[in-house]
Amino acid sequence: MYEETKTARVLRFLGWAVMVVGVVSGFFLANVPVEPGAMYTRFELALAFKYWIGSIVSGVLVLGFAEVVRLLDKINDKLDKLDRLDKR
């Protein structure tokens, strides 16, 4: 059975973390004051979408890079097995 490398695991975790933190921070950072110094805030959906889309795109790119690392490691394992069979 194939075991995922530590690098791919860390990248996969970071990709999900970027997406989760970005979406949560979008909720907080999109609450803007009604006017300077005001106690009341309003939720700016357009601003929230900027944070959400940016974090999701960044997270998916990191997840894609993790998948590339995983696939390259899997290919390397297969080539090592073939090399060991050729040496017999």
pTM, full prediction: 0.82
DSSP state, 30? T
Q: For residue 26, count other CB atoms closer than 10 A to its CB.
A: 20
- Across the chain, what does the average pLDDT equal? 91
DSSP code of 42?
A: E
pLDDT band at 1 (very low <50, low <70, confident <90, very high): low
Tokens for 19?
């997406």
Domain ranges, ordered by start, for the chain: 6-86
Closest by alpha carbon to 64, among 23, 14, 21, 22? 14
**Does pLDDT of 15 surpass 70?**
yes
Q: What are the tens digits of pLDDT across the range 31-57? A: 888 888 778 889 999 999 999 999 999
